[in-house]
Amino acid sequence: MSKHVTIRGSGVAGLSVAAELTARGHPVSVVDPAMGPGKQACSWWAGGMLAPDCEGFLAEEPVVRLGRDAADWWQDKGAQVIRRGTIVVALQRDARELDTFARRTQNHRWLDREALAAAEPQLGGRFSRALLMTDEAHLDPRRTLLALKARLGDAGVAFLPEADDRGQVIDCRGLAARDTLPELRGVKGEMVILRARDVTLTRPVRLLHPRFPLYIVPRGDGVFMLGATQIESTDRSHATVRSVMELLNAAYALDPGFGEAELLEIGVDARPAFPDNLPRVCRVGDRVHVNGLFRHGFLLAPAMARMAADVLETNSKPELWHEDHA
């Protein structure tokens, strides 16, 4: 009764579609030359923030709404989701950025210096006020992807380097699918992973800055991810000195404890995005595509996976269906 589905790509989109379909009882195989998640996928370099309200500052409304269920979905799939919200701060000179951010976002409350110190002691001494985005969460992208692959393997999903497409094909190859999705473009992101033993942040922190916005995501054991630049470029070969310098500078301004951190990794990749920076489910020929997750891979992959599964099962046209693609 259930038809076989071949999923191309094993980044966050491919694995999420695989997980959703497996949960609905479809036999699935995942085809990727790398045979699983890894540095070839831009989700490997993601922040792992499940932060629909923060993203709503710039993103279109569907990102906020569809992202709301992401934390529950990931938890249901066995991911270790940490629900401590997000702290948003700005340097004294940019205090008005914080007011604008508050005006344009939802589900937050103001923290004064004492409340901030109670939440994140190291920030309390440095910032007189902050926003706590109360409903947000985060996860470790790499741990999550690897655990999900293992879980899918246990459920009988085969991971193959190459294979003839069996049954319905769902293409989740990200930027590589530009061969059939010409509107897709790359948006370069650079990030840094470091170990800062002196820094005790327990939740993602966003520093609003007119030129060098930054987020910091704790990964446990003193490891932090700093991200991320956003440059209109498909280059995924190298991070530039300037970008890394800006990220490190901003982190140092946020907490001087980062000054003595060990640099573990400098990462770079290009996010696949459509012109409206919203993801799409579409059909080209007999393939269904899930693509364009931009900077919202972990946030929107669950909703996109559900839409793709609905398309397959009922031939429905979900919200982010894109009809006239090619």
Partner 1 sequence: MPTFYGTEIASRMMLGTAQYPSPKVLADAFRRSGAGVATVSLRREASGGGNAGQQFWSLIQDLDVAILPNTAGCHSVREAVTTAQMARELFDTRWIKLEVIGHADTLQPDPFGLVEAARILTDEGFQVFPYCTEDLVLCDRLLEAGCEVLMPWGAPIGTGLGLNNIYGLRSLRAHFPDVPLVVDAGLGLPSQAAHAMELGYDAVLLNTAVAKAGDPAAMAEAFAGAVAAGAAGHAADPMPPRDMAAPSTPVLGKAFLE
Which is nearer to partner 1, 190 or 310 (by Cβ)? 190
* Other Cβ atoms within 10 Å of 221 Cβ, number: 8
Query: Taking CB under 8 A as the rule, which mask of x and - marks residues 52-81 in contact with partner 1?
Result: ------xxx---------------------
Which is nearer to partner 1, 106 or 202 (by Cβ)? 106
Contact 194, 261 (CB under 8 A): yes
Helix (H, G, I), strand (E, B) or coil at 190: strand
Under the criterion CB under 8 A, does residue 285 sit at the interface with partner 1? no
Cα 15 to the center of its chain, rounded Å = 13
Residue 104 CB, nearest approach to partner 1 (Å): 6
Residue 289 CB, nearest approach to partner 1 (Å): 17
Give CA–CA dist 64/52, Å, rounded. 5
Residue 55 CB, nearest approach to partner 1 (Å): 10
**Candidate residues 234, 264, 266, 325; the one interacting with partner 1 per rule CB under 8 A:** 234
Which is nearer to partner 1, 135 or 235 (by Cβ)? 235
141-154 and 12-23 helices, crossing angle to 10°? 40
Sheet of 280-284, strands arranged across: 158-160, 28-31, 5-8, 168-171, 287-291, 280-284, 321-322
Q: Please give the C-alpha separations between residue 53 and each of 9, 92, 248, 267, in angstroms, as whole numbers.
A: 28, 23, 25, 26
Which segment (16-24, 65-73, 143-151, 226-234) binds partner 1 by CB under 8 A? 226-234
Assigned token pair, 182: 């010409």
Query: Taking CB under 8 A as the rule, which mask of x and - marks residues 121-160 in contact with partner 1?
Result: ----------------------------------------
Helix (H, G, I), strand (E, B) or coil at 11: coil
**Candidate residues 138, 185, 203, 280; the one interacting with partner 1 per rule CB under 8 A:** 185
Which is nearer to partner 1, 219 or 295 (by Cβ)? 295
Give CA–CA dist 303/314, Å, rounded. 16
Strand partners, 289: 171, 282
**Candidate residues 146, 240, 257, 325; the one interacting with partner 1 per rule CB under 8 A:** 240
Residue 229 CB, nearest approach to partner 1 (Å): 8
Residue 214 CB, nearest approach to partner 1 (Å): 16
Q: Which residues bind partner 1 (CB under 8 A)?
A: 58-60, 104, 185-186, 188, 210-211, 231-235, 237-238, 240, 242-243, 273, 275-278
